[in-house]
Amino acid sequence: MDLAGKKIILGVTGSIAVYKAVHLLRLMVREGADVQVVMTPAALQFVAPVTFSAISGKPALSEFFRAEGGDWNSHVEMGIAADLMLVAPVTATTLGKMAHGIADNLLVATYLSARCPVILAPAMDTDMYLHPSTRENVRILTGYGNHILEPAEGALASGLEGRGRMQEPEEIVRHIMEFGEASSKKKLLNKKVLVTAGPTHESIDPVRYIGNHSTGRMGYALAGAFASAGAEVILVSGPVALEIRHPGVSLIRVTSAAEMYDACREVIGEMDVAVFNAAVSDYTPAERSPSKVKRGEEEWNIRLRPTVDIAASLGNQKKEGQFFAGFALETDDEMKHAAEKLRRKNMDLIVLNSLRHEGAGFGTETNRVTTIDRAGNVIDFGLKPKQQVAADLVEHITKMIDDA
């Protein structure tokens, strides 16, 4: 993105990293950006508004109404007019308010009014950033289509070492420029993408089911990444405790493998790309008890029958021009089994997860994947946050489609 003439809202919150925001503002102004600084009340305790005003050439705002004259600082007008909103640094408090729509200050109200891309650069102590409540707020905000610049490792204000440092201003500006360039290209614009996510639950009786440990995080991250690349995404999700509110994603919720297959089969003919990420049950009870099975016998034998292999069934009906990718979670002979699935399911790409790698697989915030294509090319993407893994995979798939 060429920043010249771009209207950017720079949100500043109450963090010791606020000093970096001053340099960040200077860099954006130097590139020709028209920057409006909006501060939270807590940010005022770290730096005076005049510091930002002197660099931006316009008053830094922090209140809904101006002290002199009582004029309204319209968060609606600012949000609608902006080409980009950047909040750097963003604290745990502001992340929580943004995630849950608590518009008790001008910055959050402006965020809720914004129609432009939003980039968030967190800054806080390691334990705060890794706390489940903060991780949940980050997940919610990412699901809304916001972009998170993961904090860096290093010395923290607490005196500890760890993850939580706001990225350096130069890195943030570089990211903005690259983000804008990628957004303007939107290589998947008007492409239709199907993503499956989460587990399936195969009912035994009204109380019990056969399932697995999939959380759906990887699939939801993929759906958001495809939508951010311009695609129209249909996300077929098994039962998970996740939401996605990206305007480019249509969510279809299902429970069983049969329901997931029916939902996918109904739309697959219209899709340009399909990514089968869901951890679909391989077996389902042959019979379902209409009432809860009571404790009694020492043994309870449940007869199972195979479910439809969704990726294989649809993969073998793939039309010319469609691109299909499948996921494989293996515990032994990973490469051998993944390559066999690539062939048997008629996929263009297999994404291999290995439970041997710490931090990968089910129930984690991170993942490590290896891709295998029809030509035998193998790429290891390393251990990364699942949002970044999703972005890498979307970029890789886009390149494969372009090169085909």
What does DSSP say about strands 283-285 and 209-210: parallel, antiparallel, or unpaired? unpaired
316 as an active site residue: the answer is no
Active-site position among 137, 190, 212, 353: 212
Q: What residues pair up with 285 in beta bridges, in sequence order?
A: 304
- Map 321-348 to HEC letters: CCEEEEEEEECCCHHHHHHHHHHHCCCC
Alpha carbon separation from 240 to 90, 135, 211, 217, 396 (Å, rounded): 28, 16, 11, 9, 27
- Gap between the Cα atoms of 34 and 115, Å rounded: 17
Burial (CB count <10 Å: 0-12, 13-18, 19+), residue 210: buried
- Gap between the Cα atoms of 147 and 249, Å rounded: 16
Alpha carbon separation from 115 to 33, 49, 300 (Å, rounded): 18, 25, 56
- Gap between the Cα atoms of 105 and 91, Å rounded: 14
3-state secondary structure of 303: coil
Which DSSP string do the residues of 7-32 spell out, in sequence order?
Answer: EEEEEE-SSTTHHHHHHHHHHHHHTT
- Gap between the Cα atoms of 38 and 250, Å rounded: 33
Query: Which residues are known catalytic residues?
Result: 212
